[in-house]
Each structure stands twice: as structure tokens, then as C-alpha cells.
Structure 1
Amino acid sequence: MSRWCGSAYKLLTVMTIYLIRHTEVAVGRSICYGGSDVALADNYAEQLAHIQTNLATPPNVIWASPLSRCRQLAQDLALASEVADVVEVNFDDRLREYHFGDWEMLPWSDIPRDALDQWMSDFVQLAPPNGETFQALADRVGAFWQEKIEPMVEKHPNGTIYVVSHGGVIRTLLCLFLDLSLRNAYRLNLDYGAVCKLTLTGSTYQIGYINR
């Protein structure tokens, strides 16, 4: 974590950050999707309401993946905020989900078993055909965080940021905050519509909760 932390601030500030996974998608769990833009399931309104119960403070800024399942959620959370007229909503390609390359939108059962087993044996360093490694995902997400989130502490002292993204992206961030190996990313359970809360005090991260 220390490599992500900027210089010490003269005044101690506390930034609240909510990591928000998009709601359920219509394609179901049997399909391999990541970087593809897929539709939301019919229970979107119900899951949106659940997300809102776990957001104690309105955002100063919302950052989101540009894929529609995150874009819609980010915009709806901004509109529902009591400070909707001043909420800044931004999109960044580095918050997109892990890309499965040639496996995108295939049923998991159609992917050759030997190819899938080989990838799963070291998914951090191995990529699906024409896809990306999990390390590449972590690198781009880390670069986003260092460039866009850390400077916000100075711009919005004692403010709140929402980051609306995907399961792989949020697991990557949690691994970095908790100093976990990326190989353990999928030991962190994240439901659709899950909210994780953390605070950044000076240069110290503290996890409030995961998967609410």
C-alpha cells in the first residue's frame, strides 16, 4: 500500500470511499462475460434500493466504468443524491471489468476444459486468448487510483467518493488495500449490488465493511 500513498498532508483529513459493484445482469452466471457490454436484469430497481441503504453519505464525486451496467447505476445514484446538482460523475476505461478475450460471451461449458484449467492455474499471469491477465487488470486499476482518487483527498477534504465498477476491479482494490495476493482475489465474496466502505485518513486506508 505504501507505494500508492502520496505525500503527507498538513491537515489530517478523512475521505470516505464506497466501492459499489453493479447490479445483476441479464446474461446469467453460465456465460463468460467481462469486458462485454451486457444488459441489466429485471430486478435493477430492487437492487438499486438495496445499494442506497448502504450509502450513509452523499458523494462529492462518482467515478465509474463506462460500461452501461455501471454507467446507469452511477447516473441514478447521482440523481438520487440530496446534492444531485453538484455531484460530479466521471467515467474511466481503466475501471472496466477484466477482459476474457475470445471467451467473451461464450457459455463457460463451451470453453475447452484444458484451456480453462491452464488459465485458472495461474490467472494472475496467464491471459485467455486475446484477453488480459489479472495482473494487467490490477496495474490499470492501480494507475487509475493513484492518478484520480488519491488527489481527491486534497480537493475534497472530509468528502465522499463513490466508485461504481465490477467484481474483478473491486476485488483487485481490496487485495491491494489488504495486502493480499491477487491469487486470493476470488476468496473475497462480492454479490451483485455489493457495497464496500473504506476510509482514507492521511495516507492510511481502513476497511469499514465488505459486501453489504
Structure 2
Amino acid sequence: MEIYLIRHTTPDVAKGICYGQTDLDVTETFAGEVQSILPHLPPGIVAVYSSPLQRCKKLAEALFPQHQVQLHDDLMELNCGTWEMQEWNAIPKTEMQPWLDDFVNVTVPEGESYTQMHSRVINRFEQIAQQARPAVIVAHGGVLRSILAHITDTPLKESFDVFSCHYGCVVKLFLKDGKYEHEMLYNVSLAGKEWHRPTNQ
């Protein structure tokens, strides 16, 4: 039984902006990005799950128009609280530093920590995996890294360095000897380097 993880396409937001659960639209490159993803998807998908944010929902519906997309709030990106849509460089250093020192456990003001996000994501992933049917999860970079860290026993602190997940990437998960392994099928950076912290960090 295979599960495919797909990250949303390029969001319509300027570089250097902190965004998590802000409901960003996609860019004008969306149609082309969809066409780049399609060859890496297999026939026989039974269920499609997605974050409800439109950058994921639109992709899920474009890739699988014949399916009813099942939307789940717990597949949303990290809640960035009061930092949402602020420039990373504009967030006060005194407010940012504790999170930079321990982004896994420190909660974003009025938001959540990576550990809290990881908990809800893995709870949903395990429910999907228990269905034992070919499925797709369309979600966000933090969500994909949470799942990959979970199946590989990678510490969350290392997940951003270990797992490169560009916009539109496709990762296949498959069972081998009772444990999930993963294979990156498509992972091309069209938007250049992302930067989810102040540029002086």
C-alpha cells in the first residue's frame, strides 16, 4: 500500500514573509506546475486527502478531478500566530530568538510549536495509513517533513536539513518489512531558495 505526499505549488507571497496558516493563493505558474507533477503520479489512487488551505485544495482538485478531496485541518501548516504575514526581518529579535534557539519546542506567540504541529499531523497520517489503500496527501512543507521524520525516526530538529521538499514535490511512501520507506519522485526548485527565518540568522 503506497501513500504519496505532495507539497503545494508556489504560493502567491513575496519572499521573506512569514506565512503558515494564512490562506495564500497560488501563482500564475500553477497550471505549468500541475503538468510537471502529473507524470509522477500512479493510476489506482483510491483516496485523496488535503489541507483545506486553497494552495493545497486547488492542487488536489487539479491533480485528481475524479476524486472527492477529503479536507482535514490537521494537515495545515504550522500556525505562525502573530507572525503571520510579517517580514521575518521585522519580527523583534527578542521575540524571535527563543524560537530560533528551539523551534521544535517553543511555541510561536499565539501559534504553535513544531512539536504540536507534528502531533496533529502524525495522528492524521496514522489514521490514513490504517485505511490500507493507495492514497495521496496534499499538504505543506512542514507537514511533509513531519511525516518523513516520523517514518525515518529523524529528530524534528534535523528534519529541515535532512528533507528537501520544494514546491510541488512528490514523495512515495511504501511498506517494506512492515515499515514505511520513502522515495523522492519529483523535487525541482522553480522558485529558488526559501528562507523561513531572518536573513541574518
Q: Which residue of structure 1 aligns with residue 95 of structure 2?
A: 115
Instruction: From the CA coordinates, give the structure whose radius of gyration is larger.
Output: 1
Go from structure 1 to structure 2 and tell me whether the alpha carbon gap of 1:90 and 1:161 turns closer, same or farther (over 3 Å shift).
same
Deviation at residue 120 of structure 1 after TM alignment: 1.2
For the residues of structure 1 that align with 2:186 and 2:62, how far apart are their CA atoms? 20
1:129-144 aligned within 5 A? 129-144=109-124
Paired residue for 1:209, among 150, 163, 184? 184
The question of 1:167 aligning with 2:141 is answered yes
Corresponding residue for residue 86 of structure 2: 106
The alpha carbon displacement at 1:210 in A equals 6.1
Unaligned runs of 5+ in 1: 1-14
Question: TM-score scaled by structure 2?
Answer: 0.87
Which position in structure 1 is the counterpart of 2:196? none
Instruction: Pick 1 or 2: higher relative contact order, CA cutoff 8 A, min separation 6.
Output: 1
Structure 1 residue 179 corresponds to structure 2 residue 153: yes
Relative to the length of structure 1, the TM-score reads 0.83
Q: Which amino acid aligns with 2:146?
A: T
Matches within 5 A, 1:33-48: 33-48=19-34
Change beyond 3 A, Cα 1:175–1:28: same
Q: RMSD between aligned alpha carbons?
A: 1.5
SS in 1 for 2:64: helix
CA distance in 1, matches of 2:130, 2:68: 15
Point out where structure 2 has 5 or more consecutive residues left out of the alignment: 188-201
> 2:59, 2:95 → 1: CA distance?
34
Shift of 1:189: 1.2
d(CA) in 2 for partners of 1:135 and 1:45?
A: 34
Residue by residue over 1:67-94, the C-alpha shift from the partner in whole angstroms, topping out at 9 and shown as x without a partner, is: 0111111111111xxxx2xx34201100
